[in-house]
């Protein structure tokens, strides 16, 4: 019987110890559960507040959800997938180095565009061997594709930006439009000779220039419904600057075109319009372009009617 009492006390002692440990574990579990509940309830107060959720946020600051791609809805830039972009690359690199950079055209965007655009696509098959030569070439119908240096010089003078909207008067082959389209957001180009307009449109479409829009019309009147324009470039010589083009040039915009004086001397004239609409002109280089045709050739009094 003594042994039984001894074992009974031992068992009782063990049970008491177990109970105490169970109480401790239960207490710890309750404490942990309480902490988890507190953290969960206060979670919204601990996480960062975004502008879209904070009523005190700056009303002019768009939320993350409201921010949009600035180019959304605008014409796509060329993707350069056409094989022509990979052809005669060395010739274009040499053309830029020897004909353009050597004559102080240094805008990196212009130099890049001149290296990219495959000029040989815009040149007739009979003139292919001279596609990257340092002079203009005939393209048919009495028209020419301009000398590469002149194309680069005129493009640099416009000081184009990635969001610029450009108007070109005299599409010709489409080469100048393609160079501008490598830099600017949109290029609207007008050609008075429908056959040339259609040919240029086809070449530009084939090369993937979705941001160039071609119209067969008289460039004298510009393209009012698409204006105003950040830049206007003319590729045919005129004896006077068409008033509609001045009107369609944005304040702060730049225009360059070949001008022919009374004795037949031609030079490039750079025209700028300030924020108040004041026009300034500057003669920048002697040139030789084909003449602009259409309304501009009529007497000035008749053109105003």
Indicate which residue of 63, 125, 146, 199 is catalytic. 146
Average pLDDT (169-191) is: 98
pLDDT band at 64 (very low <50, low <70, confident <90, very high): very low
Please tell me the pTM assigned to this model: 0.75
pLDDT band at 269 (very low <50, low <70, confident <90, very high): very high
**Predicted local distance difference test score (pLDDT) of residue 76:** 81
At 45, list the tokens: 């107060």
Question: How many other β-carbons are positioned within 10 Å of the β-carbon of residue 263?
Answer: 5
pLDDT band at 299 (very low <50, low <70, confident <90, very high): confident
- pLDDT tens, residue by residue, 94-111: 999 999 999 999 999 999
- Degrees (nearest 5) of the Cα angle 130, 270, 240? 95
- pLDDT tens, residue by residue, 211-250: 999 999 999 999 999 999 999 999 999 999 999 999 999 9
> Active site includes 173?
no
pLDDT band at 251 (very low <50, low <70, confident <90, very high): very high
Percent pLDDT > 70 in the chain is 74
Is 37 a residue whose pLDDT tops 80? no
As a whole number, the mean pLDDT across the chain is 84
Of residues 227 and 26, which shows the higher confidence score? 227
pLDDT band at 65 (very low <50, low <70, confident <90, very high): very low
Q: How many helices (H) and strands (E) does the chain have?
A: 9, 9
Q: Is the dihedral of CA 299, 249, 257, 270 positive or negative?
A: positive
User: From CA 146, how far away is CA 290, in angstroms rounded?
Assistant: 10
- Give the residue among 277, 228, 270 at the shortest CA–CA distance from 251: 277
- Alpha helix (H) residue ranges in the chain: 2-41, 43-46, 89-95, 108-116, 148-158, 175-181, 194-207, 243-248, 300-303
Question: How many other β-carbons are positioned within 10 Å of the β-carbon of residue 86?
Answer: 10
Burial 145-178 (b: 16+ CB within 10 A, else e): bbbbbbbbbbbbbbbbeeebbbbbbbbbbbbbbb
pLDDT band at 77 (very low <50, low <70, confident <90, very high): confident
User: From CA 277, how far away is CA 200, in angstroms rounded?
Assistant: 33
Kindly list the structural domains of the chain, giving each domain's residue range(s) and its CATH number in brackets, ordered by start.
83-303 (3.40.50.150)
Task: Fill in the DSSP letter of residue 163.
Answer: T
């Amino acid at each position: 019987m003594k042994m039984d009492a001894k074992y009974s006390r031992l068992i009782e002692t063990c049970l008491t110890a177990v109970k105490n440990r169970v109480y401790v574990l239960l207490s710890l579990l309750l404490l942990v559960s309480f902490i988890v509940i507190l953290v969960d309830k206060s979670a919204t107060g601990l996480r960062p507040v975004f502008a879209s959720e904070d009523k005190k946020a700056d009303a002019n600051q768009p939320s993350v959800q409201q921010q949009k791609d600035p180019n959304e809805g605008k014409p796509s830039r060329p993707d350069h997938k056409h094989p022509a972009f990979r052809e005669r690359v060395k010739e274009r690199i040499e053309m830029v180095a020897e004909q353009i950079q050597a004559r102080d055209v240094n805008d990196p965007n212009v130099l890049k565009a001149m290296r990219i655009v495959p000029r040989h696509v815009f040149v007739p098959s009979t003139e292919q061997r001279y596609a990257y030569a340092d002079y203009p070439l005939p393209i048919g119908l009495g028209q020419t594709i301009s000398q590469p240096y002149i194309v680069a010089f005129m493009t640099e003078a416009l000081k184009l930006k990635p969001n610029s909207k450009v108007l070109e008067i005299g599409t010709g082959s489409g080469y100048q439009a393609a160079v501008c389209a490598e830099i600017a957001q949109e290029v609207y180009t007008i050609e008075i000779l429908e056959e040339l307009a259609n040919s240029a449109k086809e070449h530009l479409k084939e090369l993937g220039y979705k941001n160039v829009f071609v119209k067969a019309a008289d460039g004298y009147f510009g393209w009012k419904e698409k204006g105003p324009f950040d830049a206007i470039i003319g590729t045919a010589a005129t004896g006077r600057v068409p008033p509609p083009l001045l009107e369609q040039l944005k304040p702060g915009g730049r225009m360059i075109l070949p001008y022919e004086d009374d004795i037949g001397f031609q030079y490039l004239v750079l025209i700028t319009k300030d924020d108040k609409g004041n026009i300034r002109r500057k003669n920048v280089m002697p040139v030789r372009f084909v003449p602009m045709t259409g309304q501009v050739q009529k007497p000035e009094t008749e053109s105003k009617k």
